[in-house]
Structure 1
Amino acid sequence: MNADPVDWIFSVGNPFILPPDVFARVRQGAFNHQDGPLPRYAGAHSMSWARLAQETDYAIGWYRINDGVNRGELVVERQLSIAPTDTALTLNLKCHEAAVEGFRELLAGLTNGELHAGSQAPVDGSVSPRRRRPDAAGYLRWNRSAQDLSRITRALNYGRYHSNPLCLPKVHLGDDVVAVRRLKVSAGRCGLPAGSLVEIHRSNWRVATGTEDVDVWFGSSDGLTLNARTLARQSALNVGDRLPILSDEEA
C-alpha cells in the first residue's frame, strides 16, 4: 500500500481487519460498510443467517472504524424489509442498492460537514464465524415441515450462477449428494410417509414432507439444471420410493 497519507478510507466488501498502521496514515477518518444491522448480525453470511432466523426486518449500515471490530459509531443506516419470497440472492441485491444510496448520503455528509454519528442499537448481537454452518449442513430432512424446507432453500440460494460459500441446499440420495436449485410448497398433502416420491417429472420431483408436499428442482455445482427423470433413473428411484432422511446423529 502507498505510504503517503490519505484523507479518508472506505472499507467496502473487505473480509479482512485492517491493521493499525493503515489508520496512522488517515488524516480525517475511516468508515466500514456492513451488510447487516450491527450488533444484531455481525460476521460472515449475515443475510443467509437472517433468512434462516425468519427475520422480517433488516438493515445495512456505514460505521466509523475505531479500535474495536464492528464497534464503531453508526453514521448512515438504510432499513430493509425481508419478503417471504426473498432468497439470499434477492436480499443481497436489496442490500447492494441500499449500500449505494447510503454511500451517497455518507459522502454528502462528509462534504457538507453534516454527518451525524450515533451509537449502535442496544440489542443483543451474535457474531457468525466463517466456519459456522446451518443445521445438517444444508441437507433437506424430509420429515421437517414444507415451510421449513422452503426457508432453508431460500436462505442458501445465491442464484443459478453463484454457489453460496456458506453451503448449498442439498439432498442425500444413497451414495450421492445433489444440490437443490429451487423448492416450492404445494397446496396439497398426499398422505404418504415423509420422503416418499409422489411424482417424477422431467423438471422436478414432488416429495412428501412432514406437512404439505413440495416440488423440488435440482442443479449441478456449475449452475446447470438437472433432468429430474434422468436423476431418478440414475438413482434407481421410482414413484412410491422413499428418499433417505438423515438421523440426528448423521446430521
Structure 2
Amino acid sequence: MPGLRIIFMGTPDFACPTLQKLIERGERVITVVTQPDRPKGRGQKLLPPPVKVLAEQHGVPVLQPVKVRNPDVIEQIRELGPDLIVVVAFGQILPQALLDIPRLGCINIHASLLPRYRGAAPINWCLINGETETGITTMLMDAGLDTGDMLVKRQLAITPDEDAQALHDRLSQLGAETIDETLNQLQAGTLQRQKQDDTQSCYAPLLKKDNGLIDWTKSSLQIKNLVRGMTPWPGAFTYLHGQLVKIFQVDVAAESGPAGTILSVGPAGIVVGCGTNESVLVRELQLEGRKRLKVADFLAGYKISVGDTFSAITRTGDA
C-alpha cells in the first residue's frame, strides 16, 4: 500500500525526529516547508534550519516562504495535492485557506497535554510552573491557537531536576512516536477526534528575556523551577556587583537568610537566601560575555564573598 502524500511543515531540531519517522514509515513526503535560512552566531553566518538539512539529506524538496499565507505559496501547496499536512514547530500561523487544502486535514504535534499550555513555549512554562507531568498531543488543526480537536495523547513524567533542553529532547522523540501511532490509527480507520475543554486551558506565551529575571523573594522551589524552565534559553539571570549573571543550575538548600544575600561560598556551590528564610544552592553560572562555568571554576576567576547580594537591578537602578 503506497504511503500518504504528506507535506511536512517544521523548522527547529524539535521537528526532526518526526520528519525522520515519516520517511522511515514509507510515507511519501512530497515537500518540506520550513522557515528561510537565518543569520546565526557572532559571525551572523546564514544557516539553514535543521529540518531543511534533514530533508535535503533524504532528497526531499524544500520550500522556504517568508510568509506561508502569501497567495502564491498557498497555490503552490494546493498544486502539490497533499493527502495530509503534518506540522511541528513550524513558526508561522497557517491560514484557513491552507488548512483546507489536504483531504485529510492538517495534523499538528503540540508539546503539551492539551488543552493545557496552548501557545509557543509549552515546555518552558510547564517547568516554570512546577508541573510534574506533560506530554504530546496530536491535534487536527483549525484557525484558532492550538484549539483543534485532539487525536492522540502520550504522557511523560517530568523529572525533578531536568531543564527545558532535556525535556525538549525527550518530547521531541515522543512526538515522533505519537505521530506514528496517530497515522496508524488514521490508516486503520480507528482515529477518533475529541474536542478540547476550553475551561481547562492555559496559555504558554513566547518567552522574553525579561521572563528570566530572578525575584529572590520567591520560594526556593519557584526559583529552581524558573531556572529549569529558562535553561538554556533565554536564561535565568540576576545582577551581582552591577554585572549581569546568568544562573543555570540550582538546588533547594537548607540554610536560611535574607532574600538575595549570599550565605556561603564554596566549590560545591553558592548558597543564596530567598523567599521567607529559605535558600538555594547555585551550582552553575555565567558572567555576561563569559563562558558558562561550574561554581568552582567560576570562583577561580571571580571573587564572591559572604554578604554580597544578588539583585534584580544593576547599581544604576536599571532592571
* 2:265 counterpart residue number: 200
Structure number having the greater helix percentage: 2
* 1:225 counterpart residue number: 293
Shift of 1:10: 0.5
Shift of 1:110: 2.1
* 2:281 counterpart residue number: 215
Shift of 1:202: 4.8
Shift of 1:244: 3.0
- Within 5 Å, give how 1:31-42 maps onto structure 2: 31-42=107-118
Q: Pick one of 127, 139, 164 that aligns with 2:213.
A: 139
* Alignment RMSD (CA, Å): 2.9
The answer to whether residue 240 in structure 2 is matched with residue 173 in structure 1 is yes
The answer to whether residue 80 in structure 2 is matched with residue 7 in structure 1 is no
- Within 5 Å, give how 1:18-33 maps onto structure 2: 18-33=94-109
* 2:203 counterpart residue number: 127
Give the distance between the partners of 1:24 and 1:10, measured in 2 at CA. Answer: 13
Scaled by the length of structure 2, what TM-score is found? 0.64
Scaled by the length of structure 1, what TM-score is found? 0.79
Give the distance between the partners of 1:120 and 1:111, measured in 2 at CA. Answer: 23
Shift of 1:43: 0.8
Give the distance between the partners of 1:145 and 1:250, measured in 2 at CA. Answer: 24
* 1:242 counterpart residue number: 309
Give the distance between the partners of 2:113 and 2:84, measured in 1 at CA. Answer: 23
Distance of aligned partners of 1:7 and 1:243 in 2 relative to their CA distance in 1, 3 Å threshold: closer
Distance of aligned partners of 1:224 and 1:195 in 2 relative to their CA distance in 1, 3 Å threshold: closer
Give the distance between the partners of 2:318 and 2:115, measured in 1 at CA. Answer: 33
Q: Pick one of 56, 59, 64 that aligns with 2:140.
A: 64
Contact 1:146 1:212 in 2 (8 A): yes
Shift of 1:17: 1.4
SS at match of 1:98: helix
Shift of 1:102: 0.8
SS at match of 1:27: coil
SS at match of 2:293: coil
Shift of 1:65: 1.8
Contact 1:203 1:229 in 2 (8 A): no
SS at match of 2:248: strand
Shift of 1:232: 3.6
* 1:106 counterpart residue number: 182
Give the distance between the partners of 1:231 and 1:137, measured in 2 at CA. Answer: 28
* 2:226 counterpart residue number: 152
Contact 1:141 1:246 in 2 (8 A): no
* 1:118 counterpart residue number: 194
Aligned length: 236
Contact 1:139 1:172 in 2 (8 A): no
Kindly provide the amino acid, as one letter, of the partner of residue 76 in structure 1. Answer: V
- Name structure 1 gaps, 5 residues minimum: 159-163
Deviations 1:26-85 (A, max 9, x none): 233221111112222111111211222222232321111234342221111112222332
Structure possessing the higher relative contact order (Cα contacts under 8 Å, 6 or more residues apart):
1
Distance of aligned partners of 1:15 and 1:223 in 2 relative to their CA distance in 1, 3 Å threshold: farther
Contact 2:99 2:141 in 1 (8 A): no
Kindly provide the amino acid, as one letter, of the partner of residue 196 in structure 1. Answer: T
- Name structure 2 gaps, 5 residues minimum: 1-75
Deviations 1:1-34 (A, max 9, x none): 4532111111112121123343454233221111
Q: Pick one of 250, 259, 265 that aligns with 1:183.
A: 250
Contact 1:4 1:25 in 2 (8 A): no
The answer to whether residue 155 in structure 2 is matched with residue 79 in structure 1 is yes
Give the distance between the partners of 1:245 and 1:23, measured in 2 at CA. Answer: 45
Kindly provide the amino acid, as one letter, of the partner of residue 305 in structure 2. Answer: N
Moved over 6 A (4+): none
Shift of 1:222: 7.7
